[in-house]
Every structure is written in structure tokens, then in C-alpha cells.
Amino acid sequence: MHIPDGFLNIPVSAGAAALSIGAVSLAVKKVQKTIEDRLVPLMGVLAAFIFAAQMFNFPVAGGTSGHLLGGMLAVVVVGPWAAMIVLTCVLIVQCLLFQDGGLLALGANVLNMAVIGVLCGWVAKKATNFLSRTAAIFIGSWISVVAAAAAAAAEMAISDTAPFATVLVAMVSVHAIIGTGEGVITILVVSFLKRVKPEIVEDGACRAL
């Protein structure tokens, strides 16, 4: 759901960029407090994996495709604040090297996927952890995708690209399907990581790292 240039007007692009800069600066401050040597290459690998996985579009209903966003996966492995930084790095490289997501829309794409997606997924996972960890990861993944889609819809509506209610319903309904793919892939990757390197996917692991 990388927004290309042309869908957002200048005030919305600028506002979203300002919010993103604020949120990512806060994330940098939070990560500074806990970052250890071991976390750094792990962030690099995680970003690389999310980039690779985002290249794999899987078909969903009605001639549409979707791909992993990776926000919830990043939250599970490195915690929410480092996850924001990881996702932001991926989005910047995709924008600058591949024109995947517009340059003027970069702030909005960071806001939707790296900030709103990550935070909503993290909160949803925390709120549902009492069910089971797997269920919480699935719900968090789904929420992260749907929340990012809703934010993108709101930005396009404020930019007068499309009427609010219609674009919101359309974006949320298609991403509700893509979000289930996000949930399944995230659970598969986390259970694989649990087998090969359990210490990085345990709750609170990022603090221990």
C-alpha cells in the first residue's frame, strides 16, 4: 500500500512528514536507551527480510495482490521502537532506489506503515496476549495492516483524491483480506525463528538483547 506521488496534496504530505519525523525521533530516543551491539545486525537482517518479503506479492480475491508489511514481525523480534526504525529504513530505500512509494508521499508511507501500523499492531498484541501468543500475533498483524490502510484512506480523502467513506470502506475491506495473509506469514516466520533462534522471539527479548 505504498502511496505514489499524486494521491496526496502538499499540506497532507507535509503534515504526515512532520508527524513521521516526530515519531521516528521518539523511536530513536527510546532505542538509544536499550540498544546493544547484538541488536544492530539483527535490525539489519530484519529489514532485509521485510524488504525481500515485500517483493513477494501473493494473489488475494478479485484480481488483487498483497504482500507482507512486516510491522508485527518486527515488533515481535526487536520491539516496537526499533521496529519503527527498521520499517522506516525499508521504506526509504524502496522510495529512493525503486520509486516504490512516491518521494513526496514518503512521510505519509512512513506514518502509515512504520508508525501507525507498528503502534496499532503492538497495542493490539498486548491487549490480546491473554488469549494465546499465536492468536495475539495474528490479531496484531491483521490490525497493523488494516490500521495502515485506514490511515492511507484518510490521507487520500483529506487530499480530496476520493470521498472519505467510500475510500475508507474500499481500502479497509481489501486490506482485511490481505491482513489475514500478514497474520499467517508472521506466525509461520515467528514459529520458524522460535526453532532456530528462540531467544529473539521471546517476549521482552529486545530488552534482554
**Which range binds another protein by CB under 8 A, 11-19, 93-101, 119-127, 136-144?**
93-101
Q: Which of 18, 26, 48, 188 binds another protein (CB under 8 A)?
A: 48
The answer to the question of residue 143 lying near another protein (CB under 8 A) is no
Report how far residue 64's alpha carbon sits from residue 191's, in angstroms, rounded to the nearest whole number.
28
The answer to the question of residue 196 lying near another protein (CB under 8 A) is yes
The answer to the question of residue 155 lying near another protein (CB under 8 A) is no
Q: What are the counts of helices (DSSP H) followed by strands (DSSP E) for the chain?
A: 9, 2
**Which range binds another protein by CB under 8 A, 10-18, 123-131, 133-141, 166-174?**
166-174
* Cβ nearer to another protein, comparing 3 with 124: 3
- Any bridge partners for residue 66, and if so which? 58
Phi, psi for 180 (deg, rounded to 5)? -70, -35
Radius of gyration, CA atoms only, the chain: 16
The answer to the question of residue 12 lying near another protein (CB under 8 A) is no
Report how far residue 17's alpha carbon sits from residue 25's, in angstroms, rounded to the nearest whole number.
12
* Cβ nearer to another protein, comparing 70 with 140: 70
